[in-house]
Chain A
């Protein structure tokens, strides 16, 4: 019951936010929070629920971003075509990459994903057709509404909100399906899950592909909003790290964890930049570093796990009092 009250409060706030805080910068900030929340939620499927910490997720982000800008720059189509084509490319790539790398465990999987992402960045940097180091630009002056090039951030905000809701719904549905149970079993102990007959490799691969598809959508939306992608902004390792930290800060493996992480980190980055201007350059990265250390040391489950812990300990003590 309380869960539903909280949910409706959050939903109402999310819908009303751009009307409450109506300056263009605040609206854009809201849109950015949602965008990163989509990416972090997509990562959460494989990184949080399946426990496979991918540090190369930017490669799928890049698939979407390049597909969106490529649709426009190479074929004169609306960048919206980048969403389905990006999904197809990302899922295909996830299948190719996932089959060998998902066999690796722990850090080795993370390292393999970094290698894939960096290789991809170098390939794209040297591919003239994809704009090489210069990158691809979207429409500067929109031809029609399908170019999704708006002056106001409002349309982006609600579009991202819609996609986020869909992403969260897919995640929620997955966790309550057979696949979700398999994933939790695999995360706890892959060997035990296998010995009980859970198809570990296949389940992990499906989760990886699903996560890749959703990450690609976030990449496409990102490119549409900024109207530009180059190897650094579409395939740079820092984006992977950002997504990962957001999910970890809020709570990896929790449905709303990535959203909480994004809602804290994105404004922090933008605001520290505007308050400090040129003076405290790089402070954001210091904060990122500090957050990694603090989470790893004190709250590996993320901020949201504080609440679940409290609830658990409450019910534990409740049970203790019962005769």
Chain B
């Protein structure tokens, strides 16, 4: 009888120990709130980003010594917080700025997240970051390019992606290099949709060329998700610009490629601004008739065995898709945020903010082709940059510019099909 009691007590004690240690381990979790479009017109972006963040959390939470210099990869969890694990809490913004803001509030006040990460669409990043600013919670944005986001005097907002002014400069430099090597680049046409992305990027690029004394010759706008683009292509065919810069989302990019083939029109240089042209579904659908298109990207897969190639592989296993620039920028942003939390050694918002301000990552510590990560007073990454890539061998983009990062030389003129 007594013995039974003692055994019972011992069992209970052992169980409570197990439970207690379990609870203790659970305490060491750092929650990061993530706002993404999981439904609505851009739901596929959200699904890809979710897979990418799962890969990123795997890299942070488990030991991945094969990833070399990448911060947080070597050991399991955040060393600065005694091996704490990162947990991602995803909220759906439904493609709606108001919903995005509600979700930011919920993540901060209900889920008590240490930081917020998001929100893809610039308009939603705008409204959701305003809540984080009011509550004094760090907000990291990795992919919204609207210039005004970092012009609001916010103290808790940080952005890792290159923005329109950065890549407009890259286009100007790239085209003057092409001109130096004998290509004709005098008349430039901009083709863009009427969304915030299309109009703001087109304006910035036009401004950059104007500053260089080479105003854009032709500006062709079209309604987003167009069903017919013959008029626009005929206009281009008529004006015969030397260079076309395309600023389009996926469905329009595919329709442009098809329309250009059916009307048998090829410009000498076709330069695309990321977005649709980086989408794997664009390459699947019309890659074969878009040979020689140039594109902007900060992502290049690198030689096999390199950290970026390993990550691309992990991502492909998770999502079934090739890694693209958008997903890469999101993962990179997430790593920067996790690295700051690790260095802060705490989930105290002010300490994370200070750590973000002190961020100084070198190119070899990144998976993306940035020159580094370092934030200015406005929270913009000053070392963000991109490469020019070209679709040369059917299905894959190759880095061609600048020379230092080039795998192959650029091929001119645009070949098409």
Interface residue ranges, A against B (CB under 8 Å): 23-25, 28, 32, 125-126, 132-135, 137, 140-141, 151, 222, 226-228, 230, 232-233, 236, 238, 270, 273-274, 276-278, 281-282, 284-285
Q: List 23 A-B contacts (CB under 8 A).
A: A24-B109, A25-B106, A25-B110, A28-B105, A133-B195, A133-B199, A134-B123, A134-B148, A134-B200, A135-B123, A135-B196, A140-B130, A228-B101, A228-B123, A270-B106, A273-B91, A273-B99, A273-B103, A274-B106, A277-B91, A278-B50, A281-B39, A285-B39
What is the CA–CA distance of A274 and B90 in the complex, to the nearest angstrom?
9
Q: How far is A226 from B124 in the complex, measured between Cα atoms in Å?
A: 11
Interface residues of B (CB under 8 A from A): 36, 38-40, 43, 46, 50, 89-92, 94-99, 101-103, 105-106, 109-110, 122-123, 126-127, 130, 133-135, 146, 148, 152-154, 194-196, 198-200
Residues of A within 8 A of B103 (CB): 273-274
Partner of A228, one of B91, B106, B126, B198: B126
Distance A259 CA – B307 CA, assembled complex (angstroms): 56
Q: Are B105 and A232 in contact (CB under 8 A)?
A: no
Give the complex CA separation of A58 and B391 in angstroms: 44
**Whose C-beta in chain A lies nearest to the C-beta of B110?**
A25
* Given A132-B199, A140-B130, A281-B39: A226 touches B106 (CB 8 Å cut-off): no
Give the nearest-CB partner of B152 in chain A.
A140
In the assembled complex, the CB of B159 is this many whole angstroms from the nearest CB of chain A, namely 16
Q: Is B109 a contact of A23 with CB atoms below 8 Å?
A: yes
Chain A min CB distance to B26 (Å): 19
Bound together, the chains give a CA A140 to CA B101 distance in angstroms of 13
In the complex, what residues of B have CB within 8 A of residue A228's CB?
A: 97, 101, 123, 126-127, 130
Contact of A23 among B98, B110, B122 (CB under 8 A): B110
Contacts of B98 in A (CB 8 A): 222, 226, 233
CB closest residue in chain A, given B53: A278
Contact assessment for A232 and B126 in the assembled complex, using a CB-CB cutoff below 8 Å = no
A278 touches B90 (CB 8 A): yes
How far is A235 from B46 in the complex, measured between Cα atoms in Å?
24
State in angstroms the CA–CA spacing of A273 and B89 once bound together.
12
Q: From residue B44, how far is it (CB to closest CB) to chain A in Å?
A: 11
> How far, in Å, is A264 (CB) from chain B's closest CB?
17
Chain B residues, CB < 8 A from A32? 102
Q: Name the residue on A nearest B109 (C-beta).
A: A24
With beta carbons under 8 angstroms apart, the residue of A134, A222, A270, A282 that contacts B43 is: A282
A231 to B15, CA, bound (A): 58
Nearest chain A residue, comparing its CB with the CB of B111: A274
Q: Which chain B residues lie closer than 8 Å to A135 at the CB level? A: 97, 123, 196
Q: Which of A23, A132, A273, A281 contacts B46 (CB 8 A)?
A: A281
A81–B159 alpha-carbon span in the complex (Å): 34
Q: With A277-B90, A281-B92 in contact, is A28–B102 under 8 Å at CB?
A: yes
The CA-CA distance from A222 to B99 in the complex, in Å, is 12
Docked complex Cα distance between A26 and B127 (Å): 19
Residue of B nearest to A273 (CB): B92
Q: Across the interface, which residues of A come within 8 angstroms of B95, CB to CB? A: 232
Cα distance A155–B198 when bound, in Å? Answer: 38
Give the complex CA separation of A218 and B195 in angstroms. Answer: 26
CA A277 – CA B38 in complex, angstroms? 9
